[in-house]
Chain A
Amino acid sequence: MKKDILGCAVIVVLGAALTVAHWVLVVIAGILGGYLIEDYKKSALLGFVGGVLAWLLLVLRFAGSGHFGAVLSFVNAVAGLPALPLTLIVGGILSLLGALIGATGKKAFVH
């Protein structure tokens, strides 16, 4: 349980921090989180949730500006899809894959 919470926290905090440098680095946060969590199913679940939360945190920085609704509508129009859920799902899946890589890597090379 402790490992799971720690792994998820790593994904959220490190995921958000690394994404500022480059979005694909959320995978690295996922790998570290998955390495700590170990269990496949939990890695997948917490990896996804952690990735979503990490990117949500970043987007929420802008939500209080008063223009967020307008920007959201604009991005939706440009993307042709609900952009915010799409963004969060992308973050979640990348982190999920990272977490599975982390968990699998640990099994393959450590155990």
Chain B
Amino acid sequence: MKHKLYLGALIALTLVLSYAVSPFMPYLNPSSGLWKYSQSVEHPATKEITGLNLNDDVRIERDTNGVPHIYAKNDLDLFFALGYVHAQDRLFQIDLQRRLPSGRLSEIVGEDAYESDTFYRTLGMHRAAEETYSQMSQWSRDIADAYCAGVNQYITNANPYPIEYTLLQCNPEEYTPIDAITFGKMMGWELSGSFYDLEVQKMEEALGAEIVQELFPSQRPVNMPIIPGLSEACKQILLWSNQAIRIPLEVGSNNWAVSPQKSQSGRPMLCNDPHLSTTLPSLWYQVHMVSPSYNVAGVTLPGTPCVLIGRNQRIAWGLTNTGADVIDFYVETLSEDGTTYFHQGTWHDVTQVQEVINIKGSSPRTLTVSVTGHGPILERDGKQFAVCWTGLQPTFEFEALLLINKASNYQQYEEGLTLFSVAAQNFVYADIYGNIAIRSTGRIPIRKKGTGRAPVDGASGDYDWTGYIPFEELPHAFNPDQGYLASANQIPVSLGYPYYLGFIWADRYRAERINTLLREKELLTMEDMIRIQSDIYDIPASIITPMIVEVITPQNDAEEEALHYLKTWDYNDERTQVAPLIYHTFLDNFMENIFHDEYEEAGIPDAPYPTTETLENMLKACGRTNFFDDVSTSEVETAQDIIQKSFQETIEQLVDQFTEDVTTWSYGQKHIFSLEHLIGSVVTALNYPQFPYDGSSNTVDVAWGWTSKGGPSWREIIDFDHDLCMYPGGQSGNPFSRHYTDFVELWKESQYLPWELEGYTTESVLILRRG
């Protein structure tokens, strides 16, 4: 009897222990846990995969940087192989990036992603992708199909799946062309799907339209808010949109081209550094692809079948975001039961779509999405906003890029550009014939009335879109006399331009600096291009600092010393210098002290502050604004008072944070760069250690905020002879591969890799054999 009791107790204890350790065993299991990732992580020196559904064999050579050079005898095999290598190195990234915009993240993450999924399901990028796919030309559909077949072939072959699957306890699913297009639309959304209109509405209701116009100047005269009382609904929709998990993008970029006449080598030069979030693995994946129709090299987005930025044997191109306003919010009038909406005097049926969201660990939920003629409805606080965004229509960016990838002259390149709709981009161009060009592309709406800067009435039809700015009339230039062209997200047109483009533009500083540097030398070299891409001269600092040091009266030794550093600063935001630390900390305090009191009083404490350029203008005309007065005090403060107060606060904060000895401070102590894995907020071991970094939001070599998670995500300098390139990260998504972060050390010192399309050293060869 005693033994039976013991036995019962032991069995119970075993069950309890097994249950207790079971959550950890997927990771610690000695057979199938994380240990299995110790198996070889690099591509073998030679490997063949046989029996594939190909028309011919494909040879893939990876160079010492892990960049694949794909040689195929026909186009479809080429794109099959591209899909295969993308999946080999970035399968989890591809999977995550397709789940997010399709509203399918809850399937692997659970309840935490539910709100995000409802947002994207409502928006319906996946529905627009289906429509796009059905309207694509047959040849581009074939390429998309071949690409996805390559991804799926790897999913079939892979063992084990990438480590993230073990960490999240899920498996990849079949990848489809709809997924690829949806992800392409997501990139367009991140670059152009701004909800700033709702912020404007909130601010206009709280501060008045004229003040908002002063803080956020528009290209067009200010409109009074058309529909009052939307503030709470805007606030709630903004909260919802903020719950939507994003592919983190910090938007901005530089590109320029130099003509042969201004180039010392006599060859044109083209430079591009898109400023996007710098994740691990990188957003970018570098490839070189060769087939009878293509010989193209550059960066692709894993999950999509084309080179987005790069060159072929005759032409090169690079992108910056145009920043045009391509999204409007229409306040709809719905019938009581929500099945019809009023538009131009008639009731129309609302299209209702059922979306089933599967949630890990819960039962599926059904979401009903209402869509009017303007777009899907986001509903909060009893208000229905239809979102009208150019990306929710069928658009053909893949086709555009595939045409550009194989274009051999400017005319063929422009044929591709005409199809590029979302997000509107400034394409810079150079070719071996000596031509340079720049063109804004994309669908930019023409409105019947107004600018769509804030939500408008949807029922009247008065604010509907009537079409898009014709391609020929989009801003462009070809072989200008000045010998160069540049863009840096600045407003691309002068006031005389007949169409309204938008109101969110980067401050002029980066563009001004690039233009100055390109202009100052008669003949430019590749070294000059490197110098410009890594330039950290802070133009607004050079304007604002002399204005503030003039009025500051130091109150103690630390302030005296700090002031000395500001007065002797060369205005370079260099990590080793003291002055940029003081200046940028001051700028934060200064903005806070100028605007927070008014925002707080108006009930919008979290509303965005204006840009540095607006601050510069306010300082230059300080008598014309009341913002310097602190409305929470009875006295009337001047700009000088606020400067003095902000400076004192700055030095107190820095003394607290570091030491009293100002000479020991440096910008890099506080200004750091972060390279986080896509799930790095959960699994921090996947992240790269943070490091000090130069630059700021207004320097050519850009970095945002104190802990910057974005910057030059790809640097290319092309002269069709000794091209250079670099991106932060590495080719592999496998954290144990040496190609996971092998570019980071070079990138952070603004160094480059030679971009070799021939004569490279081959590290591994993969042969894909037809069955």
- Residues of chain A touching chain B, judged by Cβ–Cβ distance below 8 Å, are 19-20, 23-24, 27, 55-56, 58-59, 62-63, 65, 67-68, 70-71, 73-75, 77-79, 83, 86-87, 90-91, 93-94, 97-98, 100-101, 104-105, 107-108
Contacts and interface: CB of A to CB of B under 8 A. Distances in A.
A59 B7 contact: no
Interface in B283-298: none
Interface stretch (B21-29, B309-317, B619-627): B21-29
Contacts of B735: 74
A100 to B, nearest CB: 5
B37 to A, nearest CB: 5
Nearest to B163: A74
A56 B585 CA distance: 54
Listed residue (B30, B735, B736) with the most chain A CB atoms within 10 angstroms of its CB:
B30
B686 to A, nearest CB: 8
15 contacts: A19-B31, A58-B31, A67-B37, A71-B38, A74-B34, A74-B37, A75-B27, A78-B683, A79-B27, A90-B24, A93-B17, A100-B10, A101-B14, A104-B7, A108-B3
B25 A77 contact: no
B41 interface: yes
A104 B6 contact: yes
Given A75-B35, A78-B167, A104-B6, A19 B28 contact: no
A70 B741 CA distance: 14
B736 A70 contact: yes
B30 A75 contact: no
A94 B34 contact: no
A62 B38 contact: yes
B29 A23 contact: yes
Given A75-B35, A87-B28, A98 B685 contact: no
A104 B542 CA distance: 83
A98 B24 CA distance: 20
Contacts of B33: 75, 87
A73 B736 CA distance: 11
B38 A87 contact: no
A107 B13 contact: no
Main secondary structure of the interface of B (DSSP, over half): helix
A58 B13 CA distance: 25
Given A23-B25, A78-B167, A58 B30 contact: yes
B4 interface: yes
A10 to B, nearest CB: 18
Interface residues of B, number: 35
A20 to B, nearest CB: 5
Contacts of A79: 24, 27-28
Given A27-B18, A104-B10, 13 more contacts: A19-B30, A19-B31, A23-B25, A23-B30, A27-B14, A74-B37, A78-B167, A79-B28, A83-B27, A86-B28, A101-B10, A101-B14, A104-B7
B11 interface: yes
B36 interface: yes
Contacts of A65: 38-40
Contacts of B482: none
A53 B573 CA distance: 57
A74 B6 contact: no
Contacts of B28: 75, 79, 83, 86-87, 90
B92 to A, nearest CB: 15
Nearest to A87: B28
A62 B18 contact: no
A59 B27 contact: no
Contacts of B11: 101
B14 A97 contact: yes
Which of A27, A62, A71 has most B Cβ within 10 Å? A71
B659 interface: no
Given A23-B25, A62-B39, A75 B3 contact: no
B366 interface: no
Quick one: which of B3, B4, B13, B14 has the most chain A CB within 10 A? Answer: B14
B684 interface: yes
Contacts of A70: 38, 736
A39 to B, nearest CB: 14
Given A67-B41, A71-B38, A94-B18, A101 B27 contact: no
B10 to A, nearest CB: 5
Nearest to A69: B38
A107 B14 CA distance: 19
B34 A71 contact: yes
A97 B17 contact: yes
Nearest to A98: B14
Nearest to A93: B17
Contacts of A91: 30
A62 B36 contact: yes
Nearest to B735: A74
Contacts of B4: 108
Nearest to A17: B31
Most chain A CB neighbours (cut-off 10 Å) among B25, B28, B736: B28
